Amino acid sequence: MSSFLNGKRILLIVSGSIAAVKVPDMLRLFRKEDADIHCLVTKGGSHFVTPMALASLSGHPVAQDIWDESEEASIRHIRLAREADIIIVAPASADFIAKMANGLANDLASTVVLAADSPVLVAPAMNHRMWHHPATQRNIELLKSDGIRFIEPEEGPMACGETGVGRLADPLKIVSSAKSALSCQSANKNLVNKHFIVTAGPTHEPIDPVRYLANRSSGKQGFAIAAALQMLGAKVTLVTGPVHEATPVGVYRVKVETAVQMKDAVEAALPADGAIFTAAVADWRLPLSASKYKKDQDPPELMLIENPDILSEVAHKKVNRPTLVIGFAAESENLLENARSKLQKKGCDWIIANSVIETKNAPSAMGGDYNQIHIVTDAGVESWETMSKKDIALKLTAKIADYFKAAN
Ligand code: CTP
């Protein structure tokens, strides 16, 4: 399975902190995502994790803070900085953060960070008193104002026996922060303050006061897209059917139940620069029975009424049509053929085809955490490998940002 980090070159700088013992776990996670990870260890860091272990787990030689004529002939510190798509300092000791804040360049690691033009992510780890010390906090504020991103340390028992804030963030969180930073980097500022409407989840169409028609949509893909757009600076209105996902931070959410309510909420949210329709909207509703159907009566004859097609209505608007309208096609067969015909019929700009049938090579789009998508446009089809819905969201929003960049 492919990942957003596939082939991305990461330089991991390990500085002197006991939390360096967690670096092997971090390396395994990055390798699992097929990242091309390289390590640079400071003298202090090498007391806690050996360069040999870092080399074995990263699969590459480890740069160290030693003077090496053969390496420096090729200006190694500049090369290391330039080659990396992202630089992560984890763990970052109080001393290393102080060096960074003051622009010191007295060893290989600090020199590389000073020469960097790629995003730099810092995951501090230190004793809680060192963390709270005004000098450390001052250094962090300075670095934040320089555009350096921090992965905040966690609270808990420390190696020294004390308890407080200063533990290295969970390696999983470091991996996901790297993905976010890389997606923001590739997308630049093209989505800042653009308004997007995203629909997500199923709709419930009531039959009587206790029963409803529904489907298996989890809403995960739409929520992930809304979160990724928000991280790129977009204003997001997320219109959701009944699902259990938590609202992404900074996203404006409108909760609805039925297709008609979803259509009204989407209309009310216009105008928008982009609209992404991931919801599995029920195609039909029923005339609502005010009283519960009873078992001792004849089975009810349920008459289906066609619901409005929200995507099609928005895409065909003469006034207030968003610049980019994207639909999803959930298909059980003839995936690309059906998707192409939906692209024409619905009048959208891109349609994202995904299968609702699990095969040997691809999971079902419904419910799970992974998916395989094909982006169908007038220009052709772009097929992506299977990846997590969160990674799809990051890659897709980077593509959307490129679209707006080209349109500007
Ligand atoms: N859609 C919509 N309103 C509807 C039905 C679908 O906005 N009433 C949107 C979905 O959010 C999706 C796209 O249309 O982006 C395609 O949905 P899909 O369920 O794949 O197809 P349908 O249009 O419902 O057609 P069919 O069920 O025949 O495949």
**pLDDT tens across 238-288, in order?**
999 999 999 998 999 999 999 999 999 999 999 999 999 999 999 999 998
Last residue of a domain, one of 168, 185, 202: 185
Is there a single domain that holds both residue 143 and residue 216?
no
Ligand 1 center–CA 278 separation, angstroms:
9
Ligand 1 center–CA 398 separation, angstroms:
24
Q: ω before 202 within 30° of 0 (cis)?
A: no
Q: What is the pLDDT of residue 75?
A: 73
Ligand 1 center–CA 227 separation, angstroms:
22
Q: How many helices (H) and strands (E) does the chain have?
A: 14, 22
Q: What is the pLDDT of residue 24?
A: 97
Is there a single domain that holds both residue 282 and residue 401?
yes
Give catalytic residues, as residue numbers. 160
- Residue nearest ligand 1's atom 21 by CA: 329
Q: What is the pLDDT of residue 32?
A: 95
Phi-psi region of 126 (alpha: psi -120 to 50; beta: other; left: phi over 0): beta
Is there a single domain that holds both residue 113 and residue 195?
no
Contact present, 223 and 290 (Cβ < 8 Å): no
For residue 281 and ligand 1, the question of a CB distance below 6 A is answered with yes
Last residue of a domain, one of 124, 158, 185: 185
For residue 311 and ligand 1, the question of a CB distance below 6 A is answered with yes
Range of the domain at 65: 2-185
CA distances from 63 to 38, 44, 69, 107, 241 (A): 8, 14, 13, 11, 51
Ligand 1 center–CA 329 separation, angstroms:
7
Q: Domain tally for the chain?
A: 2
Two tokens, residue 68: 């090496």
Ligand 1 center–CA 330 separation, angstroms:
8
Is there a single domain that holds both residue 45 and residue 168?
yes
- Residue nearest ligand 1's atom 28 by CA: 283
* Residues contacting 177, CB < 8 A, separation 6+: 121, 123, 149, 151, 169
Is there a single domain that holds both residue 171 and residue 80?
yes
User: Residue 23's closest CA among 50, 60, 59?
Assistant: 50
Q: What is the pLDDT of residue 67?
A: 67
Is there a single domain that holds both residue 110 and residue 232?
no
Q: Note the pTM of the prediction, 2 decimals.
A: 0.82
- Residue nearest ligand 1's atom 8 by CA: 309
Of all atoms in ligand 1, which is nearest to the CA of residue 330?
20
Distance CA 17, CA 356 (A): 48
What residue numbers does the annotated binding site for CTP cover? 283, 292, 308-311, 328, 342, 346
Is there a single domain that holds both residue 223 and residue 327?
yes
Is there a single domain that holds both residue 232 and residue 137?
no
For residue 309 and ligand 1, the question of a CB distance below 6 A is answered with yes
For residue 124 and ligand 1, the question of a CB distance below 6 A is answered with no
Is there a single domain that holds both residue 172 and residue 272?
no
Ligand 1 test: best mutation among 267, 277, 376, most atoms within 8 Å of CB?
277
Ligand 1 test: best mutation among 205, 216, 263, 311, most atoms within 8 Å of CB?
311
For residue 328 and ligand 1, the question of a CB distance below 6 A is answered with yes
- Count Cα neighbours of 166 within 13 Å in the Cβ-side half-sphere: 22
Is there a single domain that holds both residue 118 and residue 251?
no
Is there a single domain that holds both residue 47 and residue 98?
yes
pLDDT < 70 stretches in the chain: 1, 66-74, 188
Ligand 1 center–CA 281 separation, angstroms:
6
Q: What is the CATH number of the domain that holds 162?
A: 3.40.50.1950
Contact present, 109 and 20 (Cβ < 8 Å): no
Specify the DSSP class assigned to residue 338. Answer: H
What residue numbers does the annotated binding site cover? 283, 292, 308-311, 328, 342, 346
DSSP 68-129: -HHHHTT-HHHHHHHH-SEEEEEEEPHHHHHHHHHT--SSHHHHHHHT--S-EEEEE---HH
Is there a single domain that holds both residue 197 and residue 108?
no
